[in-house]
Amino acid sequence: MMQNLNINLFERKANYHRPLVFNGVLWSLAFVILLFVFSKGNKPITIDYIYTVTFLIALAIPASINFYVLMPKLLKKERYIAYILAFIFNLVVFAYLSTWLLEPILDLLFTSFFFISYLTKENIFFVFTIFLVVSTLIKLAEDWFYFNKSENKILRLKNQQIETQLSALRAQINPHFLFNSLNVIYALALEQKEGITNAIVQLSDILRYVIYDSDNEQVSLKDEIKLLKNYIAFQDHRVNTPNTTKLELEIENEDFKIYPMLLLPLLENSYKHGIDTSKTEQPITITMSQANSKFEFIITNKNLDTNNQLRDKHSGVGLENIKNNLNLVYPNNHQFEVSETSDQFKVRLSINNDNA
């Protein structure tokens, strides 16, 4: 929640572009160029400075209207024809006013100086046109650079947010799985069963995968299948009923990549809610298929009042983590369906991973 708040605040700040640096550089450069033009390459005198500053003020009015009214309200909203017409109108009006009012205003304000026209009327229109067109292009380039930089920062923050969320989800899965597994070892130890040694070795292999391999962004289907088989063999020590799980595989490419720890929580839930160790029940059925970029995992178990059990604050951890993980790592590229009848509970997961 705090990470989301930080991103939202950053986005709002990114949308407010402070123009001080841009305007400082733009108008300083314009001043130097115009002063050079008006002084005709000679050493500027006082009257050149006065005329240059006054001419810049005349330019600044239509340029500011263009930057902060016409561009955001028309150009950036893709109202191109309206922007072009407004741009021309803005240019013509203020260029005409400058040809008409600039020198009378200078004569009125600076009575001790005698101003001779630096530019003809045609040249004033030319300078206004060149300046507004060039400054518009510079402004667009500056905006693109600024917002592209801001967008990259936002993307980095969002990636950090996703990594934080995934780490939190893994942290929920691992202790949950370990808690269930230790219960199995404890039960075997109490009954002093011979299989406890094999069970510890199997649990060690499973935990090695959960702790180390699950930190990878993607793992091969071969590794995930091995994990499921180890888990099934481990659960056989706890469940007295033979053939509690049927695993059917139709895998085209065992190196197909998948996000780790998506499947084990589903199998955990099936054992927890679909197997009653005290009597013979319907086996858990797993169908796993993969072809090209498509992967599908279907798991079915007997419905032992699943709805009520899933309301428990611990029993739904696996399914909720699966949903959250899928939304993060396979947005718009997956389907996750849960269906049930009075006798059967079924989960279908399909993934389209073009990068596998």
Helix (H) or strand (E) holding 116: none
Of 207, 26, 230, which Cα lies nearest the Cα of 134?
26
- Look at residue 215 in the predicted model and tell me its pLDDT: 66
The answer to whether residues 288 and 250 touch, using CB atoms and an 8 Å cutoff, is: yes
Could you tell me the residue ranges of all domains in the chain? 2-155, 193-352
Tokens of 148: 């592209």
- Look at residue 189 in the predicted model and tell me its pLDDT: 76
- Look at residue 214 in the predicted model and tell me its pLDDT: 64
User: Any idea which of 51-65, 102-116, 277-291 has the lowest mean pLDDT?
Assistant: 102-116
Across the chain, mean pLDDT equals 78
The pTM (predicted TM-score) of the whole model is 0.51
Distance of CA 44 to the CA centre of its chain: 54
Residue 250 β-bridge partners? 289
Exposed, middle or buried, 167 (CB in 10 Å: 0-12/13-18/19+)? exposed
Q: Which CATH class is domain 193-352?
A: alpha beta
Of 324, 317, 333, which Cα lies nearest the Cα of 272?
317
- Look at residue 313 in the predicted model and tell me its pLDDT: 44
pLDDT-based confidence at 213, cuts 50/70/90? low
**113 DSSP 8-state letter:** S
Q: Is residue 311 pLDDT above 50, yes or no?
A: no
The Cα-based distances of 144 to 54, 141, 149 in angstroms read 31, 5, 8
- Average pLDDT of the segment spanning 310-322: 55
- Average pLDDT of the segment spanning 14-33: 76
Residue 342 β-bridge partners? none
Cβ atoms within 10 A of the Cβ of 275, count?
A: 22
Tell me: the pLDDT tens digits for 242-272?
667 889 999 999 999 988 878 888 888 888 7
